[in-house]
Each structure stands twice: as structure tokens, then as C-alpha cells.
Amino acid sequence: MKHLLKLLDLSAEEIIGLLDLADKLKYEKKHNIPHPILSGQTLGMIFQKSSTRTRVSFEVGMYQLGGQALFLSSRDLQIGRGEPVEDTARVLSRYLDGIMIRTFAQQEVEAFAQHGSIPIINALTDFAHPCQVLADLQTIREYHKTLEGKKLCFIGDGNNMANSLIVGGLKTGMKVSVVTPKAYAPDPVIMEFAKAYPGFEWTQDPMQGAADADILYTDVWASMGQESEQKIREEAFAGFQINKTVMSVAHAGAIVLHCLPAHRGEEISADVLEEHANEIFDEAENRLHAQKAVMVTLMKK
């Protein structure tokens, strides 16, 4: 494992290994056991999309590991003025020990990995969000003690979150149902991948998808860069909300996850979000621990 570009690239054993390491680092942090594993190293953080959880968790995580993080807005880099990604990757590889990128096109992080000489971490593209899903899987294990055989139901846009949950869930032995409007299905590459797993289901019926689910998951209807589609999407996704009615067909004890930010009254009702706030904010905290596991795995020398 040289980079983390998408979960499709990882084996089930590599995913479980990252989760085990994340649990260990979380335990050590909770018990004030220092772990300066990346002392003296620097992570460059390139942001072409805004962020709350990604920036803070990576920056704090790098600090806790004994290294430092360098915030690099695309507005301040030459890449924002047209410098080829290939050149930026080769230059930054000579200064840094790892690069984290939060951007639009998956091809951009793939190009960084191809032309750079240091580990590259995908911190979100329009295709994949592997760091978020590692934190999600860690949270599910904390609440349900296992991933094997548990049913995860995602309701919403078949975007980067749905794509990555399908891959991460199925590879680790979960059943995965995805509920989207017909025009907002997951990426064809992911749908083709999922065909090999009998535990996968895609439907347009939230009640069917949520039946007997152990985990309900949703995301905003209009992601960053799609703000102009807000009204169109509100109409397309009407009825695709996690609420008490949908929860009534899930397993007793089912948890609810949301990658945040949440829009109460749209993809999730306010009462369900507040009832499951502990799970959702444990999930947000686990971004820190899961990403530290990724950085240690990729950058430890």
C-alpha cells in the first residue's frame, strides 16, 4: 500500500489493518500515551474544496504524530494558475513527506500519485471519499462489534460517499443497500464492482432498502460544486429522507451515520439526527484516528 487513492485499490486485509491501527491510536490518545511516529515529517494539504473536518483532523492528527501539516490552498499555488499537476507533484515531492488532496476530479489525485515520489492521500474527490469511509467502518465496529454480516443502507445521492461505502462495506463482509433516484445512481464502475457481491442491492424505494438495516447512512443532496442544482435536487430527492418512518423498518438498535454537514429537514429529519447524535459525532471524531492510521501506514520510515 503506497497511496490511498480509493478503496478499490485496497484488499480487505489492508482495510481491516487500517481499522485495527486506528483503534490502537485512538486508545493511546484517550489514555495520554504519546505516539510521535512521524516526528520531523511534513504533510502538505492541498485544498480545492472547503473543509471543516478534513483540514482540522489531518492537521491535528499530524501534530499528534509528532510531525507538522502545511495548508496549501489552490488559490495560493501555481496549480491554481494553470501549472500542470505533473509539475506540481514533482516539485512538492522534493519538499514534503506526504501529500493530502481534497479536490474535484479523481484523475487529479491519480496524476499526483503517478508523477510524485511520496505517498498521496485522497481526502475527497467527486468519485471517492476513502478517509471518511474508514472512519465510518471504525464507528460501525465500535457500535456493532463486527462488520461481518451487518447491513448498511445508504439513502441519498449516488456520489462519492455511496461509491466508497459500497466498496468498503462489501470488501469487509457487510451487506450494502443503496437507495437513490434513478438518475442519481452510483458510478457505473462501482455498480460493476458490486455485481460480484450477492449482499448488494440498489433500489429507488427507501423502505425496501432500509428493511432490516443495522446502519442507516445519508449525505447532503447537493454537494460542493452543485449548489446551482439545489432546487432541482430538492425535487429529485423528495422522499429520500432518513426519518422515523424509514427507521421503523430497520433493526432495533440500528445506528445512524452522516458524514456532515447535515441539512435537517432535507436528507435527515431533525429528530432522528438528534436521537443519533452520539453516533454521528463519534463518526466525526474517528476521522482523526482513521486518518492518523493512514498517515502512519503510508509515511512511517
Q: How far apart are CA 200 and CA 74, in angstroms?
A: 38
Return the bridge partners of 218, or none. Answer: 155, 258
The answer for 248, left when phi > 0, alpha when psi is -120 to 50, beta otherwise, is alpha
Q: For residues 132 and 164, what is the distance between their CA atoms, to the nearest angstrom? A: 9
Other beta carbons within 10 angstroms of residue 36's beta carbon come to: 11
Residue 83 C-alpha cell reads as 501549472
Sheet holding 98-102, edge to edge: 68-73, 42-47, 98-102, 120-122
For residues 1 and 14, the answer to whether their CB atoms sit within 8 Å is yes
Residues 6+ apart with CB under 8 A from 262: 220, 268, 273, 280
Q: Look at residues 216, 128, 127, 137 and name the one whose alpha carbon lies nearest to residue 177.
A: 216
Give residues with Cβ within 8 angstroms of 115, minimum separation 6.
Answer: 85, 86, 89, 90
DSSP, collapsed to helix, strand or coil, labels residue 218 as strand
- Known catalytic residues are 102, 129, 132, 219, 259, 287
